[in-house]
A and B are shown apart, each in its own frame.
Chain A
Amino acid sequence: MRYFFHIRDHGETILDEEGDEFDHPEDAAASAVQAVQELASARIKDGLVIDDQRLDLCDENGVLLLSLSFQDVVRKQLKPQA
């Protein structure tokens, strides 16, 4: 099944017109998290803020399966210091 990884930045959508094949939706979801990690890291490295960026994972019928906030993904990596 083909899955599409759209990026939304402050409401502006960058459409993935090509998509990628995955056997299971869980694999597509895992790939989406890894993509956000890569994109968020690149922003940090370039000194850009991470504010309102999201990755929307859709199936080939256009159904939204998962909407990942870059901030949430980064937040999960942060460990509060005691």
Chain B
Amino acid sequence: MDIPLQTAISNKLLALLPAADFEEVAGDLQHVYLPRGTPIGTSGEPIDYLYFLTSGIGSVIARTPDGHRAEAGLFGFDGYVPTSAVADVELHSHDVNIQVDAEAYRMTYADFRRAMETNRNFSRVVVRAMEAFSIQLAYTLVSNAIHDVTVRLARWLLMCHDRVQGDEIALTHEYLAIMLAVRRPSVTTSLHLLEGSGFITSGRGKVTIRNRPGLQMFARDAYGRPEEEYRRLMKNLF
């Protein structure tokens, strides 16, 4: 197995590790391609691997007993999943799927647990990332409660844009409907409104960000805090 070169790795958490700590886990990392739709975790099932994305986007989806779904969190090169592994919980708490074609480094649950117990700096980074993820979740909760669907859509688009290269995001309306916990026609209508304001263009299966500052202004109250907190949490760790 090829040992990855730390300077070439786009996952923020792996890149942040002091070199010696990275060397300790590097041999456990396996590079994988994860096309859109790849399920990387099913609620209640054992955790096989931890994934550190280097590109693409995944989502953590909470599913109710009646089968209703809504997005509980979004991750890309900024984090790792599943965060429950940090708590030494062997089972997935939620469904996790890849939403935009991704690449990742993965390690087995056993290797992750060993690294957590023997590598203090590794442990520090992933625990911080888990806290950052729970802050994102808290703001998703607030936003779902108080912001209208078009503002919430703007927020999610900005969050996706943060995690992809370029301005094009491959997103189906079906996925957006799940992210936002609304019916698809509400997504169609909200995309149309954002397009009318010149912030995006929406084509078959993809959204292109045209005016990022404008979209951010529009999302205003709904976007930015989790991102600030992430920068604060991941600064000056070592």
Q: Are B173 and A18 in contact (CB under 8 A)?
A: yes
- A14 and B149 alpha carbons, distance in the complex (Å): 17
A72 neighbours in B (Cβ, 8 Å): none
User: B202-219, CB under 8 A of A: which get 1 and which 0?
Assistant: 001100000000000000
- Distance in angstroms from B139 CB to nearest chain A CB is 21
Residues of B within 8 A of A (CB): 148-149, 172-174, 182-186, 188-189, 192, 204-205
Candidates B149, B184, B192; contact of A5 at CB < 8 Å: B184
**A39 and B185 in contact, given A18-B172, A18-B205 (Cβ under 8 angstroms):** yes
Q: Give the shortest distance, in Å, between B109 (CB) and chain A (any CB).
A: 36
Q: Which of B172, B174, B186, B188 has the most CB of A within 10 A?
A: B188
A46, B189: Cα distance in complex, Å = 14
A45:B148 contact, CB within 8 angstroms: yes
- How distant is B138 from chain A, measured CB to nearest CB, in Å? 23
A36 to B186, CA, bound (A): 9
Taking a contact as CB atoms under 8 Å apart, the answer to whether B149 and A42 are in contact is yes
A20 touching B204, Cβ below 8 Å: no
Q: Interface residues of A toward B: which range?
A: 10 to 19
Residue of A nearest to B174 (CB): A18
A5 contacts B188, C-beta separation under 8 Å: yes
Assuming A36-B185, A38-B182, what are 9 further A-B pairs, CB within 8 angstroms? Answer: A7-B192, A14-B188, A16-B184, A16-B188, A18-B173, A18-B174, A20-B174, A35-B183, A42-B186
Task: Check A17/B204 contact, CB under 8 A, given A45-B148, A46-B148.
Answer: yes
Which B residues touch A38, using CB under 8 A? 182-183, 185-186
Q: B residues within 8 A CB of A31?
A: 183
Chain B residues within an 8 Å CB radius of A39: 185-186, 189
Hey, which chain A residues are within 8 Å of B184, CB to CB? 5, 16, 18, 20, 35
The answer to whether A58 has its CB under 8 Å from any CB of chain B is: no
Distance between Cα atoms of A16 and B205 in the complex (Å) = 11
Bound together, the chains give a CA A5 to CA B174 distance in angstroms of 13
Report A12-56 CB contacts with B as 1/0, cut-off 8 Å: 001011101000000000011011101100100110000000010
A34 with B183: in contact, given A18-B174, A18-B204 (CB under 8 Å)? yes
CB distance from B218 to the nearest CB of A (A): 14
With A42-B148, A46-B148 in contact, do A7 and B172 touch (Cβ < 8 Å)? no
Find out whether the CB atom of B185 lies under 8 angstroms from the CB atom of A55: yes
Instruction: Using CB atoms, name the residue of chain B closest to A17.
Output: B204
Partner of A14, one of B183, B189, B204: B189
**What residues of A have a CB within 8 angstroms of the CB of B173 in the complex?**
16, 18
Contact B188 A7, beta carbon cutoff 8 Å: yes
Closest A residue to B176 by beta carbon equals A18
8 contacts between A and B (CB under 8 A): A5-B188, A7-B189, A14-B189, A34-B183, A38-B182, A42-B148, A42-B186, A46-B148
